[in-house]
A and B are shown apart, each in its own frame.
Chain A
Amino acid sequence: MQDGGTCVMGFEIPRSPESSYDNPIPANEDEAQDPPLAPPHLQHTLLSYPASQDGSSSLPSPQNVTLNHLYIENRESPRSVVALGVTHRFRSKFVTVVLYKPVQRR
Chain B
Amino acid sequence: MFSTGTSSSQEAGGATGELLLPKTFVWPYGGSRVMVTGTFTRWSDHVQMSPVEGCPTLFQATCRLTPGMHQYKFYVDGEWRHDEQQPSVPGSYGIVNTVFVTREPDSLTAILSPGTPGSKHMDIDPDTFQQVCGSLQETRLGLLETDIEASRHCITDFLSSNAVHDLLPDSGKVIALDVNLPVKQAFHILYEQGTPVAPLWDSFRGRFVGVLSPLDFILILRELGSHGSNLTEEELETHTIAAWKTAKHQNIRQMHLLSKPCQRSLVYAGPFDSLKDVALKILQNDVSTIPIIHPSSHDGSFPQLLHLASLAGILKCICRYFRHSSGVMPILQQPICSLPIGTWVPKIGEPNRRPLVMLRPNVSLSSALSLLVQAQVSSLPVVNENDSLLDVYSRSDITALAKDNIYAHIHLDEMSVYHALQLGQDTAMPNGIIGQRCQMCLGTDPLQKVMERLTIPGVRRVFIVEAGSKRVEGIISLSNVFKFLLSLR
Q: Using CB atoms and an 8 Å cutoff, list the residues of chain A in contact with chain B.
A: 46, 49-62, 80-81, 88, 90-102
A51 in contact with B194 (CB, 8 Å): yes
Q: Using CB atoms and an 8 Å cutoff, list the residues of chain B in contact with chain A.
A: 165, 167-178, 180-182, 185-186, 189, 193-196, 201, 203, 240, 271, 294, 304-310, 312-313, 316, 430-431, 433, 455-458
Contact status of A97 and B189, CB under 8 A, knowing A55-B169, A81-B181, A90-B306: no
The residue among A55, A90, A99 with the most chain B CB atoms within 10 A of its own CB is A55
A53 in contact with B194 (CB, 8 Å): yes
B458 in contact with A53 (CB, 8 Å): yes
- Expressed in whole angstroms, the minimum distance between the Cβ of A56 and any Cβ of chain B is 5
The docked-state distance in angstroms from the alpha carbon of A91 to that of B271 is: 10
13 A-B pairs with C-beta separation under 8 A: A51-B173, A52-B431, A53-B196, A55-B172, A61-B171, A62-B171, A80-B185, A90-B271, A93-B168, A95-B172, A100-B189, A101-B178, A101-B203
Contact status of A102 and B185, CB under 8 A, knowing A60-B171, A91-B165, A97-B174: yes
User: Which chain A residue has the least Cβ–Cβ distance from B305?
Assistant: A97
The docked-state distance in angstroms from the alpha carbon of A55 to that of B430 is: 14
| Residue among B170, B175, B193, B456 making CB contact with A58, cutoff 8 Å | B170
| Residue among A58, A81, A102 making CB contact with B172, cutoff 8 Å | A58
B185 in contact with A90 (CB, 8 Å): no
A49 in contact with B177 (CB, 8 Å): no
CB-CB under 8 A from A88, the residues of chain B are 304
Contact status of A51 and B175, CB under 8 A, knowing A56-B167, A56-B169: yes
User: Which chain A residue has the least Cβ–Cβ distance from B304?
Assistant: A90
Which 10 pairs across A and B sit closest by C-beta, in order of nearness?
A54-B457, A58-B169, A53-B457, A50-B430, A51-B173, A59-B171, A96-B173, A94-B171, A101-B178, A93-B168
CB-CB under 8 A from A57, the residues of chain B are 169, 457
The docked-state distance in angstroms from the alpha carbon of A50 to that of B307 is: 14
The docked-state distance in angstroms from the alpha carbon of A52 to that of B457 is: 8
